[in-house]
Amino acid sequence: MIRNVLLTGASRGIGEAIKKCLITSGGYNIISPKRRELDLCNDLSIKKYIDNLKTNIDILINNAGINNIEYIENVDTMTIQEMITVNLISPIKLIKSLIPDMKKNKFGRIINISSIWGIRSKEKRGLYSAAKFGINGITKALARELGTYNILVNSVCPGYVNTDLTKKNIPQAEQEKILKDIPLGRFAEPVEIAKLVEFLISENNTYITGQSLIIDGGFLS
């Protein structure tokens, strides 16, 4: 059976790796809108996209995200709005609109890409952590709410991953310091995160739900 997947943020980084991984494994029809088709910062864009979506979605992967690293007294209202909207509110809106069909079909898989900063935090990560702790929270609540409909809801919490986001946010010297704190001695490759997502949405996962799975090379241990 071919499963329909809605995947956000597939233009690069982890999302692109998830898309490639699912194409390789086969059995999925992947719908991965570009930002001009679905702008997660824009309420109207989300509403229009959902209203015009013709396909029944079996699997939702909320992957798109942004990370503005700043001390809280330096962030402006627009940044607060953007960080919480893209990373938390929009994923919730997508979940809410897709759940009725999943319930009807008695099948659904929801993956929220969170972060280690949704488990613990660090200076300048206030808004990012507010959103990522939030997404881990709703993951747990929905696993309880939707379990009887065979809808499994999990979040994946990567540590440091080799993507544009990491390169943009962490200067080279700091990256070298961080590496010393990672037992496996390296950042993750996006495909390593993708493989975990692939397992969680596959027919092989019949019993994991409500979890925030940390994939960080041992960094938080």
Ligand X SMILES: NC(=O)c1ccc[n+]([C@@H]2O[C@H](COP(=O)([O-])OP(=O)(O)OC[C@H]3O[C@@H](n4cnc5c(N)ncnc54)[C@H](OP(=O)(O)O)[C@@H]3O)[C@@H](O)[C@H]2O)c1
Tokens at 182, concatenated: 């990672």
CA-based end-to-end distance of the chain: 39
Min dist CB 206 to ligand X, Å, is 25
Identify whether 128 is a catalytic site residue: yes
Min dist CB 39 to ligand X, Å, is 5
**Which CB, 150 or 189, lies closer to ligand X?**
189
Q: Which among 28, 49, 71, 128 is annotated as catalytic?
A: 128
Instruction: Identify the CA nearest to 155 among candidates 28, 57, 41, 61.
Output: 61
**Which CB, 123 or 203, lies closer to ligand X?**
123
| Residue found by looking up tokens 């001695």 in the block | 185
**Which CB, 144 or 184, lies closer to ligand X?**
184
Residues that bind ligand X (CB under 6 A): 8-9, 11-15, 35, 38-41, 63-67, 86, 113, 115, 158, 160-161, 163-166
Are 213 and 113 contacting, i.e. CB atoms less than 8 angstroms apart?
A: no
Min dist CB 213 to ligand X, Å, is 12
**Which CB, 9 or 108, lies closer to ligand X?**
9
Min dist CB 207 to ligand X, Å, is 25
Are 164 and 171 contacting, i.e. CB atoms less than 8 angstroms apart?
A: no
Secondary structure of 32-83 in HEC code, one letter for each residue: CCCCCCCCCCCHHHHHHHHHHCCCCCCEEEECCCCCCCCCHHHCCHHHHHHH
The residues assigned a catalytic role are 128
